Amino acid sequence: MNQIQTYIQTHKERFLNELIELLKIPSISADSAYKKDVLKTADAIKISLENVGCNHVEICETDGYPIVYGEIIKDKSLPTVLVYGHYDVQPPDPLDLWHSPPFEPVIKKTDAHPEGAIYARGACDDKGQMYMHVKAVEFMTATNQLPCNVKFMIEGEEEIGSSNLATFVKQNHEKLKNDVILISDTGMIANDVPSITTGLRGLSYVEVEVTGPNRDLHSGLYGGAVANPINVLTKMIASLHDENNHITIPGFYDNVEELSKEERAEMAKAPFSLENYKKALDIKDIYGEDGYTTNERNSIRPTLDVNGIWGGYIGEGAKTVIASKAYAKISMRLVPNQDWENITKLFAKHFENIAPKSVTVKVKPHHGGQGYVTPINSIGYKAASKAYQDAFGKKPIPQRSGGSIPIVSLFEKELKSKTILMGFGLDSDAIHSPNEHFGVWNYLKGIETIPLFYKYFTELSK
């Protein structure tokens, strides 16, 4: 065992217990009923940063939830790593599908995690992954081997669009000045197939409202003679994909980056089993855009999905009614060169165009952001690759993810530095779903890998 492994073994129980305490606080940013808990989580993180040797820690107020900032500046001439993470979590519902309460963490073994996994909302996304960085810095300060400067910027509004963080970043260039941004808020292929995320998709999220008659109507007296907003909405939504599962919005694909044959061949080398994929999700067949593989469909191709749809009567029994209004929430995942604001406009224009005269539609844009691709020849990527090589005994595979962290492209624009996405979660960890968990092995492996990144990044920057 090397020094970091010994340190982790010695402090393992405490590392787990500290994370468990953090996971007990329901920091749900989307639900204002949890405001006190979100704020309490920020305070807890402030204390944890002080405890690992940050010499300047502050809670930076915003128009929303605060950003926790901490730093250790050893010497201005050394490189600076900026760590970003989020302390807010997704709402845990549906609650009845959790095997144990979402804010009462328990450790249980699973097939993917034979050494146990911590079950709790936020275990993987992102408290567990964010806290690996705090503990990695603890190791480096406790053993006097932090090789460079470090800044922490931990926000509480990632799950609701990071709009206040965007303002904070724009107003604090000097404070946030760095040589590389380090984030653990993504995943990897498998515990024995380490990978580094090199791409995130962009996002445009909209809500649509379709209005028919001015009031709910008796479906016998009016049915067939008046447009039913729910019928109309579902037909409009269905028309957004053609028979090849291409998106039909005019101009939608105009700027989509097409990958070369070589790049696609390289991607296809990543281990993937369609059988296991289907088994894990209990689906009989896969689905998607013609001409692309499953891994391409969920990373290098843009998509459109209804995230929620409602209207009319959904209570017990039957009520014969034609609703006045129907609604849907729709997300579009975007790829490099697609501009999210332009896509939002194209969507709105198309949706209004395809609406029959018998209804009126409103499109309300929510949040969005650009996609991101990080090069694999940067010092940051090379340092990360060497860190994984040491910690996992294998060279990590670069892999683009389908998820989004919209603020990352803004970091590059405003702070002019590249982001390295060292994610240690697995797709099966159920982020945003009931029974979210994070492997104990993954948590400790992350703590082991991060200091190696600091070491190699500082060496390669010389």
User: Which positions touch Mn ion (CB under 5 A)?
Assistant: 125-126, 185
Min separation Cβ 31 and ligand BES, Å = 14
Q: Tokens 């920020």 label which residue?
A: 42
Min separation Cβ 313 and ligand BES, Å = 30
Q: Does 185 bind ligand BES (CB under 6 A)?
A: yes
Name which position in 126, 155, 157, 179 contacts ligand BES (CB under 6 A).
126
Q: Does 179 bind ligand BES (CB under 6 A)?
A: no
CB closer to ligand BES, 201 vs 455: 201
Min separation Cβ 316 and ligand BES, Å = 32
Backbone φ and ψ for 266, nearest 5 degrees, come out as -65, -45
- Of the candidate spans 57-65, 275-283, 300-308, 400-408, the one that interacts with ligand BES by CB under 6 A turns out to be 400-408
- Of the candidate spans 6-14, 53-61, 157-165, 266-274, the one that interacts with ligand BES by CB under 6 A turns out to be 157-165
User: Which residues 6+ apart lie within 8 Å of 234 measured at CB?
Assistant: 309
Question: What, of ligand BES, Mn ion, none, does residue 161 touch, CB below 5 to 8 Å by kind?
Answer: ligand BES
Min separation Cβ 331 and ligand BES, Å = 7
Cβ neighbours, 10 Å, residue 213: 17
Backbone φ and ψ for 275, nearest 5 degrees, come out as -60, -50
- Six-digit token pair at 34? 């949890």
- Of the candidate spans 1-9, 65-73, 174-182, 404-412, the one that interacts with ligand BES by CB under 6 A turns out to be 404-412
Q: How far is CA 266 from CA 237, 270, 289, 348, 397, in A?
A: 35, 8, 20, 36, 10
- Of the candidate spans 58-66, 220-228, 261-269, 398-406, the one that interacts with ligand BES by CB under 6 A turns out to be 398-406
Contact in structure between 204 and 332 (CB atoms under 8 Å) = yes
Min separation Cβ 450 and Mn ion, Å = 17
Min separation Cβ 124 and Mn ion, Å = 8
| Segments in 124-253 forming alpha helices (H) | 127-142, 163-171, 229-238
Please tell me the count of residues contacting ligand BES according to CB under 6 A. 17
Q: Does 138 bind ligand BES (CB under 6 A)?
A: no
94, with CB counted inside 10 A (0-12, 13-18, 19+), is: exposed
Q: How far is CA 102 from CA 29, 279, 377, in A?
A: 15, 25, 40
CB closer to ligand BES, 207 vs 459: 207
CA-nearest of 172, 184, 154 to 70 is 154
Name which position in 102, 105, 187, 336 contacts ligand BES (CB under 6 A).
187
CB closer to ligand BES, 41 vs 80: 41
CB closer to ligand BES, 380 vs 406: 406
Radius of gyration of the chain (CA): 23
The CA-based dihedral angle spanning residues 453, 374, 426, 207, taken in that order and rounded to the nearest 10 degrees: 140
CB closer to Mn ion, 326 vs 408: 408
Which residues are registered as beta bridge partners of 421? Answer: 183, 197
Min separation Cβ 243 and ligand BES, Å = 28
What does the alpha-carbon distance between residue 416 and residue 386 come to, in Å, rounded to a whole number? 24
Min separation Cβ 5 and Mn ion, Å = 27
460, with CB counted inside 10 A (0-12, 13-18, 19+), is: middle
CB closer to Mn ion, 4 vs 124: 124
Q: Footprint of ligand BES on residues 337-376 (CB under 6 A)?
A: 367
Q: Footprint of ligand BES on residues 408-437 (CB under 6 A)?
A: 431
Contact in structure between 291 and 200 (CB atoms under 8 Å) = no
Q: Does 161 bind ligand BES (CB under 6 A)?
A: yes
Q: Is 72 helix (H, G, I), strand (E, B) or coil?
A: strand
Strand 67-72 versus strand 149-155 pairing type: antiparallel
CB closer to ligand BES, 70 vs 403: 403
Cα 56 from chain centroid (whole Å): 28
CB closer to ligand BES, 149 vs 331: 331
Name which position in 18, 37, 159, 436 contacts ligand BES (CB under 6 A).
159
Min separation Cβ 159 and Mn ion, Å = 5
Question: What, of ligand BES, Mn ion, none, does residue 16 touch, CB below 5 to 8 Å by kind?
Answer: none
Amino acid at 97: L
Query: Given the rule CB under 6 A, which residues bind ligand BES?
Result: 125-126, 158-159, 161, 185-187, 200, 203, 367, 401, 403-406, 431
